[in-house]
Amino acid sequence: LCSLCRDILIEEDNIQRVESPVVICGDIHGQFYDLMELFKVGGECPETNYLFLGDYVDRGFYSVETLLLLIALKVRYPDRITLIRGNHESRQITQVYGFYDECVRKFGNVNVWRCCTDLFDYMALSAIIDNKVFAVHGGLSPAL
């Protein structure tokens, strides 16, 4: 699944063009059941266009399930799901805030963690909605 998603993401730009209407979702942090509620409220995919702004993993108990659902939807509906990379989509952060430990606990080794964190490297960094709205996970650097 990670390999299939990587093949899609590698063809996408770092700045994704998104058309409205779109449901924009912030940090999920492994809260799988909250993600399911988001789909109930916002609408099922592919009828609804979604932009996720990162932080899919860490802190919650279901980071693996949350991320795998999102990437499965990305593979199935690549034009309806946009995944932006957040600060928790990094190897270093996931080793501190729980995703690494969750993967080892659930699978007995680091293979799933490694596949997922390799995928993070291919995620877009921002989106532009209707050529009007700039969307990122955490904001712009003050140095810019």
Cβ-in-10-Å burial (0-12, 13-18, 19+) of 95 comes to middle
Do residues 50 and 42 make contact, with C-beta atoms less than 8 angstroms apart?
Answer: yes
Distance CA 113, CA 23 (A): 28
For the question of residue 88 being annotated catalytic, the response is: yes
Question: Which entry of 54, 88, 98, 117 is annotated as an active-site residue?
Answer: 88
Structure tokens at 33: 């059941």
Question: Sign of the CA dihedral 122, 18, 23, 47?
Answer: negative
Q: Indicate which residues carry an active-site annotation.
A: 88
